[in-house]
Amino acid sequence: MSALEQNLDKLNGYLAAFKATGIPNRIAGNDTAGGGGVFQSTSPIDKSVICDVAHGTAGDIDTAAKAAADAFPEWRNMPATQRRKILIKVAEGIEARAEEIALCECWDTGQAYRFMSKAALRGAENFRYFADQVVQARDGQHLKSPTLMNVTSRVPIGPVGVITPWNTPFMLSTWKIAPALASGCTVVHKPAESSPLTARLLIEIAEQAGLPPGVLNAVNGFGEEAGKALCEHPLIKAIAFVGESRTGSLITKQGADTLKRNHLELGGKNPVIVFDDADLERALDAVIFMIYSINGERCTSSSRLLVQDTIQQEFEARLIERVKNIKVGHPLDPATEVGPLINEEHYNKVTSYFKIAKEDNATIAAGGEPIGDQGYFVQPTLFTNANNQMRVAREEIFGPVLTSIPFTTEEQALSIANDTNYGLTGYVWTNDLTRALRFTDALEAGMIWVNSENVRHLPTPFGGVKSSGIGRDGGDWSFEFYMEQKHIGFATGQHKITRLGAQ
Ligand code: NAD
């Protein structure tokens, strides 16, 4: 049996449970049907139906929010060391089922196994990392004044909503849910309708690890219905959201009446800037990796290449050769580098840019065509002869599609890089140290890597500026979001209290 056949064989075993029972909602430790009946989840690999999924409604969100509110006092008050033990067990449970998670994720999303096997383990790492911070998460400061001993502490904000997208759903869910639980919050999770499988596995693993019923609840369904109801629910104190910038704006509006605290991780049109003094071998590898890995369905992807005109010809020639060589195929084949796009709507969006590029007079230097009609496969694509005013340089395509734009001077590169509504990441390739310092100082992005691809280090702040988001995750920044600061002032003596109404 080939590696692909072996993976398919294992996957069929894992999918049997989903096919038998579908994916119900999970509320207060119980499987519950969706108020709207069911919808079907399909695989982008061959468009086949995977299973029925509960179609959650505002009523289901209400039940889940009440369950999360009921479970909150016990979870908040549980000794930190005990909560820590449960979260570590969740991490162990994820590790034990990492292969199942990865294979189901590939089948559900079209992402290649080589990346999803790592993403599953990263999910475990997220739980381990935040579990290790549990004990000190509530610690505060003491800020002595002449008359008072002021102390601060942090308390969990309450039940929170987590709304996640479909691009790497398991990893992103853990990225939000792990710090929320570590903070002492309870959670209602609304997974993306296009990729519901691994959210179900996560809740199974969490409950088996000893998470009390109601601490983590999952309601499946659509954004404009279940997602909206979650944002509007008065018992939900905050929304951690990952998705499109347009949806981020809706999340803010929907939460206005209940004064929701929102953390928004949104889209990007991230530049990678290659100067002619850079290590061009490494730059080439990183440029390719950061747009063609994870099917280009990656918020931090470097979708705009700004290349210095002195090296443009040679760099683009080598890029074209490599892009044409990228292995598109079945996501469960370990050799596959790019799999199919998530669904028909997204496939139509990505392929529409092939036409838009031509209309704008960019050159399609590689790819630019769909592949077959069995699933939502497209060729890895490179546009050259482009400028930053073209739609392919301004709009988030969210597929394996790169737009290359030349520049002459550092000032020009900076101005092109910043001429975008987005500001999530930037990648700078130069061996000139002072230029790197100057350039990164002026580049408008939440996260910048110099002479490196995106290498995530969990204690560092993750998030964007401009239309790429509000707020930061990672390290203590996550606790800042899921917790409230509390100040208590203790009088240390008999300081004078101004007397009103006294003779
Ligand atoms: P999306 O915004 O369409 O959907 C994300 C989630 O929001 C889904 O669960 C969806 O059901 C829900 N939703 C949709 N409308 C809603 C509403 N009105 N109220 C509440 N919830 C609603 O995004 P997507 O297409 O699933 O994901 C791709 C996008 O996510 C891209 O723009 C990508 O850049 C972004 N993303 C950002 C990050 C980051 O960290 N900045 C990471 C991954 C993906």
What six digits make up the tokens of 267? 């889209």
Together in a domain, 202 and 330? no
* Residue of 55, 239, 244 to test ligand 1 pocket, by largest number of atoms within 8 Å of CB: 244
Answer whether residue 280 is part of any domain.
yes
Together in a domain, 83 and 112? yes
**355 Cβ contact partners less than 8 Å away, ≥ 6 residues apart:** none
Together in a domain, 244 and 292? no
Which atom number of ligand 1 is nearest to the Cα of residue 244? 32
Rounded to the nearest whole angstrom, what is the distance from the C-alpha of residue 340 to the centroid of ligand 1?
A: 19
Torsion angles phi and psi, residue 39, rounded to 5: -125, 170
Rounded to the nearest whole angstrom, what is the distance from the C-alpha of residue 245 to the centroid of ligand 1?
A: 8
Q: What is the mean pLDDT of residues 307-312?
A: 98
CATH number of residue 204's parent domain: 3.40.605.10
Total domains, the chain:
2
Answer whether residue 500 is part of any domain.
no
Secondary structure class of 144 (helix, strand, coil): strand
Together in a domain, 188 and 50? yes
pTM of this prediction? 0.97
How high is the pLDDT of residue 306? 98
Together in a domain, 208 and 149? yes
Secondary structure class of 340 (helix, strand, coil): coil
What six digits make up the tokens of 153? 């502490």
- Provide the residue count of the chain: 503
CA-nearest residue, atom 12 of ligand 1: 223
Rounded to the nearest whole angstrom, what is the distance from the C-alpha of residue 464 to the centroid of ligand 1?
A: 15
pLDDT level of residue 473 (50, 70, 90 thresholds)? very high
**43 Cβ contact partners less than 8 Å away, ≥ 6 residues apart:** 50, 107, 108, 110, 375
- For residue 488, pLDDT over 90 is answered with yes
Half-sphere exposure of 281 (CA within 13 A, CB side): 0
State in Å, rounded, how far the first CA of the chain is from the last one: 96
**500 Cβ contact partners less than 8 Å away, ≥ 6 residues apart:** none
Q: What would the pLDDT profile of 339-396 be if each residue is shown by its tens digit?
A: 999 999 999 999 999 999 999 999 999 999 999 999 999 999 999 999 999 999 999 9
How high is the pLDDT of residue 392? 98
Answer whether residue 111 is part of any domain.
yes
What six digits make up the tokens of 23? 């994916």
- Note whether 343 and 194 are within 8 A (CB): yes
CA-nearest residue, atom 35 of ligand 1: 243
Alpha helices in 186-232 (DSSP H): 197-208, 228-232
Together in a domain, 353 and 411? yes
**Cα–Cα distance, 10 to 94 (Å, whole number):** 17
* Residue of 108, 122, 242 to test ligand 1 pocket, by largest number of atoms within 8 Å of CB: 242
**DSSP 8-state secondary structure symbol assigned to residue 227:** I
- For residue 118, pLDDT over 90 is answered with yes
CA-nearest residue, atom 39 of ligand 1: 265
Rounded to the nearest whole angstrom, what is the distance from the C-alpha of residue 461 to the centroid of ligand 1?
A: 20
Secondary structure class of 307 (helix, strand, coil): strand
Together in a domain, 442 and 469? no
Rounded to the nearest whole angstrom, what is the distance from the C-alpha of residue 190 to the centroid of ligand 1?
A: 11
Nearest to 216 by CA among 179, 180, 171, 186: 186
Q: What would the pLDDT profile of 417-472 be if each residue is shown by its tens digit?
A: 999 999 999 999 999 999 999 999 999 999 999 999 999 999 999 999 999 999 99
Answer whether residue 456 is part of any domain.
no
Which atom number of ligand 1 is nearest to the Cα of residue 222? 11
How high is the pLDDT of residue 503? 80
Q: How large a percentage of the chain has pLDDT more than 90?
A: 100
Positions marked catalytic: 265, 299
Together in a domain, 191 and 48? yes
Together in a domain, 276 and 260? no
Rounded to the nearest whole angstrom, what is the distance from the C-alpha of residue 163 to the centroid of ligand 1?
A: 8
CA-nearest residue, atom 15 of ligand 1: 223
Domain residues for the domain of 221 are 3-266+464-487
Nearest to 229 by CA among 64, 69, 57: 57
Answer whether residue 152 is part of any domain.
yes
Torsion angles phi and psi, residue 382, rounded to 5: -130, 125
Which atom number of ligand 1 is nearest to the Cα of residue 464? 41
CA-nearest residue, atom 23 of ligand 1: 243
Task: List ligand 1's pocket residues with C-beta within 6 A.
Answer: 163-167, 172, 190, 192-193, 222-224, 227-228, 231, 242-244, 247, 250-251, 254, 265-268, 299, 396, 398, 424, 464, 469
What six digits make up the tokens of 447? 């996260």
* Residue of 247, 263, 346, 350 to test ligand 1 pocket, by largest number of atoms within 8 Å of CB: 247
Torsion angles phi and psi, residue 189, rounded to 5: -100, 130
3-state secondary structure 424-474: CEEEEECCCHHHHHHHHHHCCCCEEEECCCCCCCCCCCECCCHHHEECCEC
Which atom number of ligand 1 is nearest to the Cα of residue 194? 26
CA-nearest residue, atom 32 of ligand 1: 244
Answer whether residue 499 is part of any domain.
no
pLDDT level of residue 129 (50, 70, 90 thresholds)? very high
| Cβ neighbours, 10 Å, residue 142 | 9
Answer whether residue 28 is part of any domain.
yes
Q: What is the mean pLDDT of residues 155-162?
A: 98
Together in a domain, 375 and 405? yes
- Note whether 108 and 196 are within 8 A (CB): yes
Q: What is the mean pLDDT of residues 228-234?
A: 98
CA-nearest residue, atom 22 of ligand 1: 223
Q: How large a percentage of the chain has pLDDT more than 70?
A: 100
Together in a domain, 90 and 237? yes
The pairing of strands 401-407 and 425-429 is unpaired
What six digits make up the tokens of 8? 């398919």
DSSP secondary structure string for all residues of 179-197: HHHHHT--EEEE--TT--H
Rounded to the nearest whole angstrom, what is the distance from the C-alpha of residue 53 to the centroid of ligand 1?
A: 19
Q: What would the pLDDT profile of 400-411 be if each residue is shown by its tens digit?
A: 999 999 999 999
Nearest to 171 by CA among 209, 126, 129, 217: 126
CATH number of residue 331's parent domain: 3.40.309.10
Rounded to the nearest whole angstrom, what is the distance from the C-alpha of residue 128 to the centroid of ligand 1?
A: 25
Answer whether residue 396 is part of any domain.
yes
Together in a domain, 365 and 435? yes
